[in-house]
Amino acid sequence: MAQAVRKLYNLGSSSSPISHLIYNKHKANSQGLYALSPWGKSIRCHFSVGNFQAGSSASSDTSEDGAGLCHQEFQRWQNGGGAFHKSACIDPTALIETGAIVHPKSVVGAYVRIGSGTVIGPSVTVGQLTKIGYNVALSNCSIGDSCVIHNGVCIGQDGFGFLVDEKGNILKKPQLLDARVGNHVEIGANTCIDRGSWRDTVIGDHSKIDNLVQIGHNVVVGKSCMLCGQVGIAGSVTIGDYVTFGGRVAVRDHISIVSKVRLAATSCVTKDIKEPGDYGGFPAVPISEWRRQVASQSRTSKKRVD
């Protein structure tokens, strides 16, 4: 077969259709092999980026805020088929699944897995060994190493901050800072973590967050905390280390909670908690006091029935 091809090549001049076809095919194959090679010349931030593309442009034509990036600036990632911007820094071991997109100036570390439908916004950093599920939206944030982010999580969007002027108009307060997620953090499905306005929103190392949790802007959560499902934390709350919230706990804004506090399910924190221990009720009080309240209410209700 090879001899036949060489004969055909020798029969045509440099301008003949046959030689032109063979030359172009040979050139395309060489470029394809070079594109797949891990020793390409295009290296940014110590990661190989351009050398792991398949050469085709992605279909996306806008950035996260709709600022109209040219679709030709996006390319297809060889490992998984997702799209990435040419200015992104992506480790060659990262997996970006089809339908996922990495926007300009983002950094994706080694052995990261990004699921289909996920958007990594501009200038977002994702640490090594982190696993990101389907349809996740990351913007204005950084994610640490060895994190697990489940399906539908949103991190780094604007917080709920408004003011009313003298004419009764509702005006939006600027939300210009970031959200920072530490190392070994797990975040459950459809949880939302807002970006900061006057300080970064922070989730400490080794903290675990259940599904459907809302964390407002400027909240600081310490290390090794556990937040169960449907917890709601209003803006500018400060939470210490080793704190546990039961399901549907609510915390009002600008509250401080010291380390090693546990809150019973459905509790509502309306003022600072300054001593470690167990709390419960609405408003949250020390657990022994809350139990007495519940027992007293039970006795009262029984007397009314009798």
Quote the CA–CA distance of 155 and 113 in Å, as a whole number.
Answer: 17
The pair phi, psi for residue 147, each rounded to 5°, is -90, 160
Radius of gyration of the chain (CA): 27
Quote the CA–CA distance of 68 and 199 in Å, as a whole number.
Answer: 30
Q: What is the dihedral of CA 244, 250, 251, 252, to 10 degrees?
A: 180
Contacts 24+ apart (CB under 8 A), 218-226: 218/159, 219/194, 222/259, 223/182
The pair phi, psi for residue 303, each rounded to 5°, is -65, -40
Query: Do 175 and 196 touch, CB atoms closer than 8 A?
Result: yes
Q: Which neighbouring-strand residues pair with 43?
A: 48
The answer to whether 206 is a known catalytic residue is no
Secondary structure class of 285 (helix, strand, coil): strand
Q: Between the CA of residue 259 and those of 88, 227, 241, 245, what are the distances in Å?
A: 38, 14, 5, 12
Helix or strand holding residue 88 (H, E): none
Quote the CA–CA distance of 185 and 46 in Å, as a whole number.
Answer: 25
Given the residues 85, 150, 184, 217, select the one marked as catalytic: 217
Which residues have a catalytic role annotated? 217
